[in-house]
Chains A and B, each alone.
Chain A
Amino acid sequence: MLWKLRRRCWELWHGEQLERDAEEELALHLELAAADRVSAGLDAAEARRRARLELGNPDAARDALREGRAGFWVESVGKDAILALRALRSRPAFAAVCTLTVALGVGASTALFAVVDAVVLKPLPLPDPSALVRIYDVNPSKGVERSGVTTGNLADWRRLAPRYRGIAGHYTMGRTLTVGQDSEVVLTAQVTEDFFPLLGVEAALGRTFTSEEARAALYDNAAAPVGPDPVVVLSHDYWQRRFGADPTLVGRTLVLERRPARVVGVMPASFAMPAPDVQLYMPWGFSGDEPRDQHYVSALARLAPGASLLEAEAELRGVANALAREHPRTNEGWTVNVVPLQQDLVGDSGRTLFVLLGAVSLLLLVACANVALLSLARGLERGHEASVRLAIGATQGRLLRQFLMEPLLVSCAGGALGALLAVVGLALLKHFPAGLPRIHEVALDPRALVFAAAASLAAALVSGLPAAWRRTRAQPVSELSGTPTRVAGAGERHRIRDALVIAEVAMAVVLLAGASLLVRSYQRLQAVEPGFDPRGVLVAPIFLDMERYGHDGRSRTYYAGLIERLTALPGVVSAGGATALPASPLGPDFERPVWPEESASDERLRRPAWVRMVTTGYFRTLGMRIEAGRAFDGRDSPDGARTVILSHSLARRLWPDGGALGRRLVVDYSTAGTYPYDVVGVVNDVRFGGPRSEPRYEIYLPHAQRPYLILNVAVRTSEDPRRLAPAVRQVLRELDPGKPAHGIHSLEDLLGATYSRDRHAMLVLSAFACVASVLALLGIHGVLAHRVRERTREIGIRVAIGAERGHVLRWIAGYGLRLMLVGVAVGGALAATSARVVSGLLFGVSPADPAAAALVLLALPLVGLVISLHPAWRATRIDAAVVLRTG
């Protein structure tokens, strides 16, 4: 049967060719016939006429052949479709339920596939993306795993590593852009000359930077441009949002950090390097003597054709070693790690997404199983229809085709509806990005549509095959008796039905197991002590510019004044600032080697620590604990002694006996020299990157003694911090209208964002698990209800001859419980074997977590038992007398 169907498809595909062949064949036939008649004595014209007359019109033959090819599709399949449509129309509730179920399943899985495809599978939208890599500086001896690279080394790398076609650098920070009266802080990326050419992307409007512009673009220590007025390129998104996609923008001059900046180009919409939220690009040139010890540059490179990643990495490591020998003071111990760019961007979101994709596939299967159960129940009521058709002469293959048409139609409708749902879902997703990379690339593109079609087809087969197969196994009409309630093969029918329910329960169990593990994991995450109290705290990153604030301690004055004013606001408990705030992505963050002054020679006590400049009031604002000594106050002024506060673990490491207070710590600023500081306090450890991150060694320096232009200002309030935002903005405007904050957020939100991926995975998987469980319970209920309906006579008889109602109840409910238990057992086994898959996502929870297991293995059967009671109870209400009478 399948072979014939394949052949028919082949005929359809080659229709044109077959037509031409047929023409040729028919023509030859007539010619040969005419030739024969000629040799029998007729003249050519008469021979042709006779032949045509006797053999019939070739056009009619051609039509018949065409009909034979196309007729199948038009007549046969078309008729089947119309029959199926009519059957579905006569049971609109059934059709609607099935269509909706399929739509939900296909929609959810298609949306998730679109996300997986865009984030993990599809190559980056850049030319030859597999040759693009990210380069990190690492220093194993100092415990530095992943660090930015230095401008000083970059030029040497380009020269000495031929396996790289080019190495580019970029550095992103916030700068204030003023258009007319409005100022806002935009994320600007300084990019080296080869950045755009290396990535292979041209500007959509205007152009990118010229070599002259790049070379002239030098920056000072505060990343402010020195030299000529800067030129800028806009990101497509920013151009649209801020300037309404104004085509005349190229050539106009804006004010960037109080300097005029001319717009020379706009990037295309698909360009999202180095990050999708970068709004402005500036050129970046290097002077002759760039430092080799400031690791703040992000490096991208393109491998030369034919170079493998490992070769390139080895080569660059060799270069790094050579540089370390040449410049021991700055480069000693530094080497590199090279990773594919796509992998770097995607990170381990891939694992989470694939787990979710697997989960949604299970959900789709459960949905299809429910539709199959519904179809089975319905098909059994129409069993005799098949018998009649078989008698009239249909083959079993033909019947199967007819009976598969219904689920095929349902799945087409369901699939189309599902695709629409997916579009809606994806649009919603873009509004709540959930911390996924490349989310801007997600769309319902042709690949996702193909997936939707495949999912619909799979749904049609899975949901339709059991019932269709069952119906074609009916016996021909001669075996029909009067009542159509029993069709041959009762035992087999039950097996399929029970198997479907057991499968549903098993899959629901697997999903529940995964979801409960993620919930426990998330609870553990939330319970982690971050080291600070985020409740009631508002964070505002501020970027001061060098020109106005870079001299005479003006930044110190500004921030001191700002904090004073903020503290004076009603409802504010305290305010403070830090160059690097936990969970906040902006601000200068760097490490420096530190050691106790008295143990300068002890290598083991020389460790890298993250350096933060903080104002007075900072620790109080963040709710951090002073474990020893004091916080910063008026004594830590510019003319006072240099002071430092250590984090708990650093103090313990360097002074295990606990005597850090009062000692001196030396900090190595490499080319800028080393300086000793008085330790005046020890503060608790914080989990800087959120609950999943480990505490690091940190030192805090008073901002007054070492003022930075960039500061994350935090405000603690006794009420809802979000309501304070307008007041904060007002204060900023009063102090300097040209210095707005770049996005004011509550610290709770920021902290939550550090594990938003876990939260969303948990929510999504829980949603899938709930839906699957509901479907499975509905399946159990339906099967039991159907069983009661089938066995109504039997139950009536049993009751009549004396069986107790309780016995009937136990019989039916027991059947349901048995199905559930088998399903739970199968599901439990499946979940156990696939535990490894989920374990990578968990936090502080092992896959064999007893609480999670208990929930699943006990709760589901219990609920199932409760559900079973309804049809069981209905069974006990069967009136024996009525049943026996109606027979």
Chain B
Amino acid sequence: MNDKNNGKLGDWWTRREVVKTSAAVGVGAMVATRLGRIKRAIAGTGKTDELRIGLIGCGGRGSGAAEDAIESTPNVRLIAMGDLFPDRLAAARKQFSGNKFADRLTVTDDHAYSGWDCFEKVLKTDIDYVILATPPGFRPMQLKAAIAAGKHVFTEKPMAVDGPGIRTLFEVADEADKKKLSIGVGLQRRHHPGYIEMVKRLKGGAIGQIVGARSYWNQGALWMKPREKSWSDMEWQLRNWLYFNWLSGDHINEQHIHNIDVVNWVLGKNPVAAVGMGGRQQRVDPAFGHIYDHFAIDFEYPGDIHALSMCRQMLGCVNSVSEHFQGATGQAHADNKLFEITGKKKWKFDGEANPYEQEHADLIAAIRSGKPYNELRRGAESNLTAIMGRMATYTGQRVTWDQALNSQESLMPAELAFGKLPVGPVPIPGKTKFL
């Protein structure tokens, strides 16, 4: 990996790591082994196969992921959780107490943490498996800390928002392999039987050579939390993390990564460059930070194959969240619950699935069987694809894979603390520079 300069993020992390997580690393070393050999006792059963989970980031998705993990597989227990905000921590705990599997969501007061260092505290507990579900900007440092602490990881997507972050992901992926730790990535389409079967057929030539692709995440608007007087800049941005590039990487990265990942999966390669256009037309109020509300990207793949990619979060427009492939002898369409191949080798998926549980079930099964399992590299590649698309759109330039990967632009603020944090300008294509 080319990594001459890890940027501010790396510097920041290194400092904190030395000061605060040396203990976590020590504990980690003791359990840095696949769970298949850990064999924990399951309370009251005499059996020994319990997997203990910690949750970092207790918002709607994080607490949903914890429930998905618990419901996906027997003998799994949530024992620790952390969130920067005490109110979010309390809300998630209350939610868990009403879950039908509440007996496996047993986080005691002394294992529930809030504050900036909550993730370090969760990693110091006796967990085997950590779910990372804070805003994506924090993910590279938390992934690095989790693997350093010897934990298996389920990370929500995306895992990074900038080039330095992506480079950290590739390092972490290597480190996890060395330590025989498993990493699952929340790109749940990879665990949906409809997608799996469709991709298998496409790779088997069901529509001949694939000559082009289209993918979309065009939807209406998303939630926004009006600023409260007591909130500092930092708190306001964190509570509205979608709308700030350093936290979400913009919606092309935060949502459209799902569709982009399917295109990379089917084509079996990553794009070499991107050209894009986009902007911000409906969501112009500063309450929505500085991200765009629409993008349209031309991703250029090896062999002069192009994939059109659109994402939009605007009201009153036609919506679609789907992927489509044009082959020499047919087409393939994945659109919500529909999976269809046309042409001579017609096929339609007929089945039900819950990929949000399946992604945990697959990861946990791999951990228990000792089978190598690491989705981070391919996840990071799709993550970088989205970031490259954003960079091409923001700058108005053709941005290559290598440029995006080696970008020196770190979006992480110099200091992580509640206080002043100015919002960067809305990028203007043709004026905004590639860094």
Question: Are the chains A and B members of one assembly?
Answer: no
Give chain B's interface residues, CB within 8 Å of chain A.
Answer: none
